[in-house]
Amino acid sequence: MDYQERYEMYLEGVERYLGRLFTADKPYGKLYESIRYSLLSGGKRIRPVLTLEFARLGGMDWHLALPYACALELVHNYSLIHDDLPCMDDDDLRRGKPTNHKVYGEALAILAGDAMQPEAFRIIAQAPMMSAENRLEAIQVLARACGADGMVAGQVLDTVCDVRDEAGRMELDRLKTGAMITAAAELGCVAAKMPPTMRMQALEYASELGLAFQIRDDMLDVTGDEAVFGKPIGSDREEGKITYVDLKGIDGCRAALEEHTQRAKAAVATWGDRAFLLELADRLLARDK
């Protein structure tokens, strides 16, 4: 199976699973509508794809890891809803569509995000075919990645602290973006009970991929096509944020992007079945959205 076939297979599984969530007829149905608006608005689904691929590489039927993959995607999308709020980045567009608070209002957008986070942990806790010990470990991985020493810490650095140097920027991105990408890989490893050495290599791959992903995002915020990128170009600069482009320039960012991509690929260089991971890294390096 080639890269595109496998990616689309994973994508279909994720979309089908997510599409079954929040469909019941409730008196508070507007909440479900708001959640589904963001959750099903497209996106690359890189994080759940990573979970499923590492589960497969660990020797399990990747379908069994869908609850873990989709739980993380719920947390990721809750973070995007909150990130777009006026008190945060105040963005009007996400994936080429009006942001959640622009459609449903700030109160419901906040509540939709609030609901998605605990629902994610419920999905893991109820994952079929997984042992109680495995589910507990998965909950710990996701909680660590999105909590006070993970994604939320990164958001604090991004919105409250005035990060202006490269070391600070790398720490910000390691927490805000990288922690969830690394957790996506680790959840696949947990699901498959991957051996410790392979798990360490998987985490190294994902960590480097996360840095490359953010550098490319910063470049696209300057050089991207708004119609393709799905959100306004130059928004970081307008908000006074210091990005990798400010610190390194476009040429320096290209060099750093290549370096982190090669490090990611080197982390899994000894794996026999590594073709998908290598192509994913290369495609993220060249992405335009």
pLDDT value, residue 207: 97
In degrees rounded to 5, what are phi and psi of residue 94?
A: -145, 120
C-alpha to C-alpha distances, 74 to 38, 126, 149, 156, 264, nearest whole angstrom: 10, 15, 19, 20, 25
For residue 238, the model assigns a pLDDT of 72
Residue 129's alpha-carbon distances to 67, 70, 150, in angstroms, are 11, 16, 28
Which pLDDT value is given to residue 214? 92
Q: Is 13 helix (H, G, I), strand (E, B) or coil?
A: helix
Distances (CA, A) of 240 to 81, 150, 163, 246: 21, 23, 10, 11
Count of other CB atoms within 10 angstroms of residue 77: 24
Q: Cα 165 vs. chain centroid, distance in angstroms?
A: 24
Tokens standing for 218? 């910063």
pLDDT along the chain (289 residues), means of 10: 96 98 97 98 94 98 98 98 94 93 98 98 97 98 98 95 91 95 98 97 97 92 73 68 89 94 98 97 89
Task: Tell me the backbone φ, ψ of residue 200, rounded to 5 degrees.
Answer: -60, -40
CATH number of the domain that 79 lies in?
1.10.600.10
Question: Residue 95 belongs to what domain range?
Answer: 3-285
What CA–CA distances, in Å, run from 285 to 18, 80, 238? 27, 22, 25
pLDDT at 239: 72
C-beta atoms surrounding 90 within 10 Å: 14
Stated as kind and residue range, the H or E segment containing 98 is strand 97-98
The reported pLDDT for the residue numbered 232 is 67
The length of the chain in residues reads 289
From first CA to last CA, the distance across the chain in angstroms is 25
Which pLDDT score, from 0 to 100, does residue 286 have? 87
**Model pTM?**
0.94
Domain count, the chain: 1
